[in-house]
Chain A
């Protein structure tokens, strides 16, 4: 239940309704401001859009992507949903710079239920140390998978949790997001379809744009929703710059 209160001078309707009627009668801008202030401070579920800048952000490693993300980068904690309708559209390539920085911090990357075998030679080509990678096999049940994602997100030595899930309810997503925020961990969920009422920090869609030889390494990224951002944006980035060269 987060309310965007971008304009401080005009108080949101909910806030006004909950004010004491006596206070509303003696309406003066000063008093109103102070009571709103009080209300904002007393309720943990209310926050201001301006506060989001306090959370640290890291560059994604792709200039075009940085430009469309609020605060120019991935947040350091929270939940990010990546919608990729098909396998192999560059969803992991997108995260290579992030994975490298996580490994460099000495933290671990946990892969929960990857759809296929995680191929270590490719990780090494990208410069990712496989010693700090842990995989939870896809043979486990969905309930166990969610349990392990939540545990990992709460753990402080896990820097990044990558998981592949078909559909998750809003309630589950909210729970995972809270876990990520308490643990200071970043979680990525790769999904086939978008969930419109998801509480995740960022939702983006990645797909391959064209089918030509020249733009083989190009992928388009659409920002569906981001905390602190105002409108949906779209950009294209060049992937595979780290190891795969197009002819």
Chain B
């Protein structure tokens, strides 16, 4: 701890040094800056940086994921954690007394970090350092020297020994500095700041100023990703869904309350039903749009449960939520015209489709699409309801000749008796032929003559005759 006077002395000394080198500093401006800096320096903290050189070759998302997993471990010793490039930096001054010294702090986190790295299948080493600034500790940790700087006045000398490679400059800038004869940070101290800024940009100066505690360091605090998991052990064994639903609904209610409190919503959740001496039944429930409505969740769960056969009674119910999304509320439009209600209608329908998918299976709820093909059975595609968005109909694709509403999946062969066609009854052709020849590049080439016909019982049919091999007749569709 040092007093204000000490601090002032330190700052003035610091600036006196700078003035020696950079004489072009106007006096007035300097005083203003000095006051400004003093304000920020009042905060008295010690930042402990843990640097992972092995993360260098990982991609950004992987790096972020690993660092946030490691940052959770550091939560034990500090509440102020920030994730930097390849490193985790946390504030430990407030914890020094509690853990009686920085060595103990290091011991506490060393083992969990190493075991976590082992779990992630990465080399188990990391370098660390501590000093009063975030950037400073990061630079020290990068150098690999396990340095501890307690006081701000020692920062300059401690950092000065570091090679300029710790600044992680671009290759070009690094080469330039080397050519100038600057090999360590202390060589930078004696250079005029304005000149440096002109040559290497403001980033370098900002880094140095932050490291030396001359500039405030805004940091983004690390917050643990939300995690929701509850387990309810049943007082008695349950076999019926009707008995299970109240318990599940209670848990869902809790989860919705959690989502509301954290301003989140989800697109999927998992329910585990534990059985005695048998493997758990897992129910994964997904939604098309993020949601946090208890009513919707319970509807979906009920639809899933109704389809389920329990192998043995349920003894416990677990609810897990792993992925969260930010909740985006929307305001409903004033229902002035009929158009303003369209959006509202759609959300209602999506809910219905999800219920269908939950009970009937995703592959049973379909949408139909046309594809540009001359072959009748290839001109249609049935796709899962959630796979594609809206498509515009191209007018050119619409055939000018009539097409039936219902197409038989497998064309039915027609019988020919006394030169007349029969399905169930006598068939009369009324128009045609429409010749379709396509797919010759495939093994199943299509050579057909299509006719519109009707059966005596009143059915309007779409029939065709093969133009290859046996020239058989087939029924392909109904003009329902």
Whether chain B is bound by chain A comes out as yes
Interface SS, A side: loop
Instruction: State whether A87 touches B399 (Cβ < 8 A).
Output: no
In the bound assembly, the distance between CA atoms of A115 and B405 in angstroms comes to 11
Interface SS, B side: mixed
Instruction: State whether A92 touches B459 (Cβ < 8 A).
Output: no
Chain A stretch 81-135: residues in CB contact (< 8 A) with chain B? 85-93, 105-108, 114-125, 129-131, 133-135
Instruction: State whether A85 touches B457 (Cβ < 8 A).
Output: yes
Does B349 interact with chain A (Cβ within 8 Å)? yes
Does A77 interact with chain B (Cβ within 8 Å)? no
Instruction: State whether A123 touches B458 (Cβ < 8 A).
Output: no
Give the shortest distance, in Å, between B458 (CB) and chain A (any CB). 3
Does B203 interact with chain A (Cβ within 8 Å)? no
In the bound assembly, the distance between CA atoms of A158 and B431 in angstroms comes to 37
Instruction: State whether A118 touches B405 (Cβ < 8 A).
Output: yes
In the bound assembly, the distance between CA atoms of A158 and B356 in angstroms comes to 13
13 contacts between A and B (CB under 8 A): A87-B480, A92-B406, A118-B406, A119-B376, A120-B380, A121-B379, A122-B402, A137-B360, A151-B356, A209-B458, A243-B402, A244-B402, A244-B452
Residues of B participating in the A interface, judged by any CB pair closer than 8 Å: 338-339, 342, 345-346, 348-349, 352-353, 355-356, 359-360, 363-370, 376, 379-380, 382, 385, 390-391, 393, 397-399, 402-409, 424, 428, 430-431, 452, 454-461, 477-480
Does A155 interact with chain B (Cβ within 8 Å)? yes
Which of A116, A208, A243, A244 is the one whose CB lies under 8 Å from B458?
A: A208
Instruction: State whether A116 touches B478 (Cβ < 8 A).
Output: yes
- Contact A89/B398 with A116-B408, A135-B382, A247-B430 known, Cβ cut-off 8 Å: no
Instruction: State whether A117 touches B409 (Cβ < 8 A).
Output: yes
Apart from A88-B461, A130-B367, A245-B402, what 13 extra A-B contacts exist at CB < 8 Å? A88-B478, A116-B407, A116-B408, A116-B409, A117-B382, A119-B404, A130-B368, A131-B367, A134-B365, A144-B360, A155-B352, A158-B349, A244-B402
Instruction: State whether B366 touches A137 (Cβ < 8 A).
Output: yes
Instruction: Please give me the residue from chain A that is nearest to B424 by CB atom.
Output: A86
Does A240 interact with chain B (Cβ within 8 Å)? yes
Give the shortest distance, in Å, between B444 (CB) and chain A (any CB). 18
Does A152 interact with chain B (Cβ within 8 Å)? yes
Instruction: State whether A137 touches B367 (Cβ < 8 A).
Output: no
Instruction: State whether B398 touches A125 (Cβ < 8 A).
Output: yes
Residues in A neighbouring B408, C-beta threshold 8 A: 116-117
Instruction: State whether A93 touches B480 (Cβ < 8 A).
Output: yes
Does A24 interact with chain B (Cβ within 8 Å)? no
- Contact A151/B368 with A106-B342, A131-B390 known, Cβ cut-off 8 Å: no
Instruction: State whether B370 touches A130 (Cβ < 8 A).
Output: yes
Does A156 interact with chain B (Cβ within 8 Å)? yes
Interface size class of A (residues with CB under 8 A): 35 or more
Give the shortest distance, in Å, between A151 (CB) and chain B (any CB). 6
Does A139 interact with chain B (Cβ within 8 Å)? yes
Residues in B neighbouring A90, C-beta threshold 8 A: 460, 479-480
Instruction: State whether A119 touches B399 (Cβ < 8 A).
Output: no
In the bound assembly, the distance between CA atoms of A216 and B391 in angstroms comes to 35
Does A213 interact with chain B (Cβ within 8 Å)? yes
In the bound assembly, the distance between CA atoms of A118 and B399 in angstroms comes to 16
Residues 233-247 of chain A, each 1 if its beta carbon lies under 8 Å from chain B, else 0:
000000010011111
In the bound assembly, the distance between CA atoms of A124 and B363 in angstroms comes to 24
In the bound assembly, the distance between CA atoms of A167 and B379 in angstroms comes to 33
Residues of A participating in the B interface, judged by any CB pair closer than 8 Å: 85-93, 105-108, 114-125, 129-131, 133-137, 139-140, 144, 147-148, 151-152, 155-158, 207-209, 211, 213, 216, 219, 240, 243-247
Residues in B neighbouring A208, C-beta threshold 8 A: 454, 457-460
Instruction: State whether B393 touches A129 (Cβ < 8 A).
Output: yes
Which of B365, B385, B404, B457 is the one whose CB lies under 8 Å from A122?
A: B404
In the bound assembly, the distance between CA atoms of A158 and B368 in angstroms comes to 17
Instruction: State whether A120 touches B364 (Cβ < 8 A).
Output: no
Instruction: State whether A125 touches B402 (Cβ < 8 A).
Output: yes
In the bound assembly, the distance between CA atoms of A120 and B342 in angstroms comes to 24
Instruction: State whether A121 touches B460 (Cβ < 8 A).
Output: no
Interface centre among A105, A122, A207, A216 (most CB of B within 10 A): A122
Give the shortest distance, in Å, between A237 (CB) and chain B (any CB). 14
In the bound assembly, the distance between CA atoms of A90 and B459 in angstroms comes to 8
Instruction: State whether A89 touches B365 (Cβ < 8 A).
Output: no
Instruction: Please give me the residue from chain B that is nearest to A243 by CB atom.
Output: B402
- Contact A211/B456 with A93-B480, A106-B342, A244-B402 known, Cβ cut-off 8 Å: yes
In the bound assembly, the distance between CA atoms of A104 and B28 in angstroms comes to 74
Instruction: Please give me the residue from chain A that is nearest to B408 by CB atom.
Output: A116
Instruction: State whether A119 touches B359 (Cβ < 8 A).
Output: no
- Contact A88/B352 with A123-B405, A136-B360, A136-B365 known, Cβ cut-off 8 Å: no
Please provide the 5 A-B residue pairs with the shortest distance between their CB atoms, ordered closest to farther.
Answer: A208-B458, A88-B478, A88-B459, A157-B345, A116-B406
Instruction: State whether B393 touches A157 (Cβ < 8 A).
Output: no
Instruction: State whether A240 touches B360 (Cβ < 8 A).
Output: no
In the bound assembly, the distance between CA atoms of A40 and B298 in angstroms comes to 39
Instruction: State whether B368 touches A118 (Cβ < 8 A).
Output: yes
Which of A114, A131, A243 is the one whose CB lies under 8 Å from B406?
A: A114
Interface centre among B348, B402, B406, B455 (most CB of A within 10 A): B406
Residues in A neighbouring B385, C-beta threshold 8 A: 134
Interface centre among A105, A124, A240 (most CB of B within 10 A): A124
Instruction: State whether A135 touches B430 (Cβ < 8 A).
Output: no
- Contact A87/B368 with A117-B409, A246-B430 known, Cβ cut-off 8 Å: no
In the bound assembly, the distance between CA atoms of A222 and B407 in angstroms comes to 27
Instruction: Please give me the residue from chain B that is nearest to A107 by CB atom.
Output: B345
